Amino acid sequence: MYLCGLFTGYQENIMDRKTRVRFAPSPTGPLHMGGVRTALYNYLYAKQNGGDFIIRIEDTDSHRFVPGAEQYIIEALNWCGIIPDEGVDSDGHVVETPSEKHPHAPYRQSQRRSIYRKYAEELVEKGFAYYAFDTAEELAAKREEMEAGKETFIYNHITRKSLRNSLSMPESEWRPLLDTHTDWTIRFKMPENRVVKMDDLIRGHIEVNTDTLDDKVLWKRADELPTYHLANIVDDHLMEITEVIRGEEWLPSLPLHYLLYEAFGWQDSRPRFAHLSLLLKPDGKGKLSKRDGDRLGFPVFPLKWTNAEGEVSRGYREDGYFPEAFVNMLAMLGWNPGDDRELFTMTELIEAFSLERVIKSGARFNPDKAKWYNKEYLRTKSDEELTELFIPVLENHGIQVVGCAKCALTAGAEVTAQGADFKNRIFTKDYVRRIVSLIKERAVFVADFWDIASYLFTAPESYAEKDAAKFWKEENYSLALKVADFILDFKGEFTKAALEGPLEEYIRGNDWPMGKVMNCLRLALVGASSGLGIADIVTLIGKDEFSRRIDRITGTLGSGK
């Protein structure tokens, strides 16, 4: 009866509370895409439940701090559209002083130092923890010694008696050490032979015997900082976190965390836990690492990162991925909506997400699928938007884009009716937009536009040998030149719609081989036997440029007629 009452008390308590989840990264380097996924799932869960998504920086390891990592993490999440409700201000800085919107500041654990010591000592007073005076060297030696005898050293109820701590020594002996020594720790006194019963939102019921666990360090005197375990429980409690959604690597520490909540007397408000599986490398075995990205040619980080040694790691953003595509791809790696839908906006993800449908097993990352997502998102973008994105790419290739024909004049060029000045490499935005609308279905990234359509901005500099050998034959190009003349003499409106029909009629009417003739022209215009329809190309580049390209190829490849 008593236990039953406790249980319902816990349930009611949790049910009444506003959903509050946190993403608590350690600023030890750039945020891995697996980390982004964890943040995303937290965010989706919070928003679905009308709750808060909180950022907390877990920088309790002073030795592993990496400058810039914190800012990187915030910027990466921001790029993904994962916007925190609490912990980070609108300028992207971690909040350091409490306010109405950020009542639990500071959100950086190194700035919450003073909070943790009293909690650690409370545990000692209650008998759930103790002071340990063994130096790191002593423990390492002990560990080595036991491993030599093929035994595993665990700091637990068996070994702690023979080690230097407040449990094995008389108080008169250890008490003074608290002042004279500066490298003692507070360790959790792991109970003997107790089965901890836990529930995970994704994995279900789990039981672990405490005899397999060790007395974890909770607080370090040397730097006056807690370890992850203590800081995490204290902060989650203080920040009123309702669900902890984190990586699988934390599952083994869950019993400790349960026991800590119990020791503090917080078991009734303990958050619920969900442990996410890891992201695995595309091939072979093991988890996804930066090396796999380098080896297989894809980013593992959301944003580009340069480390202290100057090594650069590519990012999804810099590689040309749309954040929506990246987020969508990540969401589907380990979760599915239960039906065949694959394309989701953030809003749709918030609606459809559920922890129940998160997959337990590790998910291999598939770079091909990531590209497919980008391709799908690329074609949903408007021509205007894509044009704006394409312009910087063009500029990198020495192409100038102007707003209109008049603007071209002020830029010292005169564009054709189509909006092109090939000599000065100046084109109107409208010209670019027409091209974008024609080629966007062929691309995965905006940067691909150049590879696909450079011939619409500059004449080909070389001609694909294989294609030339196949199509540039006397019987073909003599006919192609006649077709070129037909196009040049075309009196109707010079648009694809007007030209296409008559052009085809002309060739078929003469009973000429359509494929061969067209590819001859294409070779002259594109430099290869690929690309848009001839009518598209010529009406885009205009008669002058068309004629120039025909002349060039006859001199280059032809018999010099």
Partner RNA sequence: GGUGGGUUCGUAUAACGGUUAGUACUCAAGAUUUUCAUUCUUGCAAUAGGGGUUCGAUUCCCCUACCCACUACCA
- 206-225 residues in contact with RNA (CB under 7 A) are 206-209, 212, 214, 217, 220-222, 225
Shortest distance (Å) from residue 27 CB to RNA: 9
State the Cα–Cα distance between residues 233 and 261, nearest whole angstrom: 7
Shortest distance (Å) from residue 384 CB to RNA: 20
Q: Which residue has the tokens 């650069």?
A: 312
Shortest distance (Å) from residue 528 CB to RNA: 8
Answer for which of 311, 474, 514, 544 binds RNA (CB under 7 A) is 514
Residue closer to RNA (CB basis): 132 or 402: 132
Answer for which of 278, 350, 411, 498 binds RNA (CB under 7 A) is 278
Answer for which of 536, 554, 557, 558 binds RNA (CB under 7 A) is 536
Site string for RNA, 359-378 (x = CB under 7 A): xxxxxx-x-xx--x------
Answer for which of 194, 237, 442, 548 binds RNA (CB under 7 A) is 442
Residue 197 annotated to the active site: no
Contacts 24+ apart (CB under 8 A), 7-11: 9/268, 10/267, 10/268, 10/269, 10/270
Contact by Cβ (8 Å): 233, 123:
no
Residue closer to RNA (CB basis): 332 or 446: 332
Residue closer to RNA (CB basis): 92 or 286: 286
Burial of 416 (0-12, 13-18, 19+ CB in 10 A): buried
φ and ψ at residue 205, rounded to 5 degrees: -80, 135
Residue 504, both tokens: 């085809």
Among 247, 246, 248, 240, residue whose Cα is nearest residue 271: 240
Task: Tell me which DSSP letter residue 271 carries.
Answer: P
Among 160, 288, 137, residue whose Cα is nearest residue 213: 160
Q: Which of 216, 290, 429, 543 is catalytic?
A: 290
Shortest distance (Å) from residue 115 CB to RNA: 15
Residues numbered 287 to 316 that lie near RNA (CB under 7 A) are 287
Residue closer to RNA (CB basis): 402 or 541: 541
Residues numbered 132 to 171 that lie near RNA (CB under 7 A) are 134-136, 139, 143, 152-155
Q: Using the rule CB under 7 A, is 454 a contact of RNA?
A: no
Residue 424, both tokens: 């000065």
Residue closer to RNA (CB basis): 9 or 338: 338
Answer for which of 46, 88, 260, 332 binds RNA (CB under 7 A) is 332
Shortest distance (Å) from residue 2 CB to RNA: 27
State the Cα–Cα distance between residues 455 and 554, nearest whole angstrom: 18
Peptide bond into 106 cis (omega under 30): yes
Contact by Cβ (8 Å): 225, 110:
yes
Stretch that binds RNA, among 40-48, 244-252, 421-429, 487-495 (CB under 7 A): 244-252
State the Cα–Cα distance between residues 120 and 123, nearest whole angstrom: 5
Number of residues that bind RNA (CB under 7 A): 85
Residue closer to RNA (CB basis): 35 or 401: 35
Residue 267, both tokens: 């078991």
Q: What angle do CA 58, 37, 77 make, to 5 degrees?
A: 65
Stretch that binds RNA, among 55-63, 82-90, 92-100, 296-304 (CB under 7 A): 55-63
State the Cα–Cα distance between residues 298 and 277, nearest whole angstrom: 21
Q: Which residue has the tokens 């497919």?
A: 372
Residues numbered 181 to 200 that lie near RNA (CB under 7 A) are 183-185
Residue environment code for 289-328, b if the CB has 16+ CB neighbours within 10 A, otherwise e: ebebbeeeebbbbbbbbeeeeeeebbbbbebbbbbbbbbb
Q: Using the rule CB under 7 A, is 285 a contact of RNA?
A: yes
Burial of 465 (0-12, 13-18, 19+ CB in 10 A): exposed
Residues numbered 81 to 110 that lie near RNA (CB under 7 A) are none
Q: Using the rule CB under 7 A, is 24 a contact of RNA?
A: yes
Residues numbered 470 to 509 that lie near RNA (CB under 7 A) are 500, 504
**Number of other CB atoms surrounding residue 4 within 10 Å:** 8
Answer for which of 311, 530, 544, 551 binds RNA (CB under 7 A) is 530
Shortest distance (Å) from residue 375 CB to RNA: 8
Answer for which of 100, 171, 309, 441 binds RNA (CB under 7 A) is 441
Any idea of the CA torsion for 143, 148, 151, 154, to the nearest 10 degrees?
Answer: 0
Residues numbered 398 to 437 that lie near RNA (CB under 7 A) are none
Shortest distance (Å) from residue 439 CB to RNA: 8
Shortest distance (Å) from residue 60 CB to RNA: 4
DSSP string spanning 447-489?
THHHHHHGGGTS--SS--HHHHHHH--HHHHHHHHHHHHHHHT
State the Cα–Cα distance between residues 49 and 69, nearest whole angstrom: 30
Contact by Cβ (8 Å): 54, 28:
no
Shortest distance (Å) from residue 106 CB to RNA: 16
| Catalytic site positions | 290
